[in-house]
Structure 1
Amino acid sequence: MRKHRRRRLAALTLAAILVPAGVPSGAAATGRVRVHASMELRETYDSNAFLIRGPRIGDFYTTLSPRLSLTYRGPRIAVDAESGASFFVYGRLKDLNDQFFDERLRVEYKIAPRLYLEAEDTYTSVSRRVGRPDDLASNLVQSNTWHIGPIFRSDLGGRSRMEVKADYGTTNYVNGHFENGQTPDFQQARTSLYIEREVSEAITVYTSQEFTRRDFSQVENASFTGLLSTIGLRWGIGRRLSLDASGGKQWLHFGGPGTENGSIVDLALHWSPTQRTRVTAAYDQVFTSDVDGKLYRQKRYTLGLERRIGPRTLLRANSFYSEFTQSIGGFGNDNYFGGNVKLEHKLLPRLLVDLGWSYAANAGGLSTDNFDRNLASMGIRYEY
């Protein structure tokens, strides 16, 4: 009898750990549903709120941002759904009032022990009144992006793993025309290979290869075939220091301009002098193509500090310097620098308030749009 009681007690204890409160014990076999909701109210002062027409004018604006997310994890199906909105109300510049909506749905189905099918759809809607407040219909920009494809995951021994992905999808815009009336809708097919190897408890190396074909139906010379090849390293150097490093090459072949290539670099050094302090120095270099068929290269230097002040207060500070280059049909170089500071305090377990300030300025280059911009904000967020 004692053995049966012990087994029953162990089973009940395990069920209490695995099954969330309020869910029948039989639901563990069918999956879990988690719901997360938040509401944020923010007041912001923007020194350059009015950038499109006339002189630059500062103004206060209020932002209300509700968001709801749902996750489901079952034996074969995983679902992530998220929906949110942001409503902007300005003090003096009423014609800048704006709304932004976004929705995302991702479903992953387990076909076999190592084979999955992934489908994802993202929808955004922005009413851009800036610049043309009297013609809201032509400023309503809606975009929908979806893709679907298989994923193969495998463990290559005890310390290695591999992932192979392939997908096809499209991006469509509503009223998202350029000045010449063209719509930047495109179709895209991608395949990728990722391999990771744990060399030791402190060092992990990985490599990634990605092939992309993107076809624009209306934008001339924007379609391209791309190949991205990278290698990376994650290294825990002792107890307080860690390094994340990756680099590679990207090739883009266009029908008209020909082939362009660029280097991809991502370096981040993390140092924790104390348990409550974390300092990060980072450098990244990207090379990509926008929907208008132009190539962009950007180098960015970042220095960040994160400091926990007591159990409920967190301080974050960052500074950056960015070199931006538009290499095909563009205006040349633009350099920017700036920084931000944010103080967060948890009033209640679900109620968070914050104070923030950010600054950005043009540090030179060929652009005539030289400016400096200050943003100061105060927000309150409730999460459920």
Structure 2
Amino acid sequence: FGTDVNVIVLAATNRADVLDSALMRAGRFDRQIYVDLPDIKERKEIFEVHIKPLKLSDDVKIEFLAQQTPGFSGADIANMCNEAALIAARGNKKAIHHQDFLDAVDRIVGGLEKKNKVITPKEKKTIAFHEAGHATVSWMLEHAAPLVKVTIVPRGQSLGAAWYLPAERMIVQTEQMLDEMCATLGGRAAEKIIFNKISTGALSDLEKVTKQARAMVTVYGLNEKVGNITYYDSSGNDAFVKPYSENTAKTIDEEISKMIELQYLRAIEILTNNKDKLTVLAELLLEKEVIFKDDLIKIFGKRPFDDELPEIATEETAETAVQKKETKEEDKKEITEENKN
């Protein structure tokens, strides 16, 4: 290269926090572009690219597919389209139907269906009431994500699941986080109310609410006793050192426990007041194994809150959209570039 030739070096990483700071100094990789996961409009455009070579049925709506896949990356969407095509081919269909895409989401997010998994009637009943508990509590809370599907069909490592369409919020308020925690604890609360016993099936629920409560207290400053302070270090240098005293650590643990217990008692109260509907829902789940939003409307009536559905340029609604509650967030990708002369 000569001195009059510009050289641009591009690099990509998912862990910009562990890069040597000398690498990021001015004159080196000093331009950074953050590539986030696609929003609903971008997902719609990605779907349009991947479905071009596919033969689709008239019932397939791209808007629905974009609404049901929050958190999906471009690669996830490509995989979903391929999976839907395979499902349609196995069924000897001439075109890919909307249900094939929904089945593809189930398979990608939830894992393979385990038809031969042996579950005793007692365990199946416990699972049914657990999932019905999630559904009931979330239906009664304003800020909980709108539920569109509940199943007790084993998939992957899960024995059952409640599927939601989470709102794609840019900011989250305290009430929204507390409602989500309460809905997550609905399964454990239902087991306590119906059987007066608690199983190990709520492990993932407890893990989720514990992480969420800890984030509220130590990261977002949403706890009155700990105060308007954050112990989050964006540089990632606090991995092995707690930036607070033992007394503060004790206070944090107490506030986390208190926050979770309050939401658990709140879930208990909601389910106690709606025990008859909870039972009807669980019995229907035992009978059909998979129930949808329409079934919940028949039992509970129309949800008294407006669903925070993502906006998209369409007249259709997203009532058939599904998204699993346990969907894991993909890591954000950071692209850096360096300009040299």
Which range, TM-score by smaller chain?
A: under 0.3
**Which of structures 1 and 2 has the bigger CA Rg?**
1
* TM score, norm. by length of structure 1: 0.22
Normalising by structure 2, we get a TM-score of 0.24
Greater RCO (Cα-Cα under 8 Å, separation 6 or more) = 2
Instruction: Name the structure where strand makes up a greater proportion of residues.
Output: 1
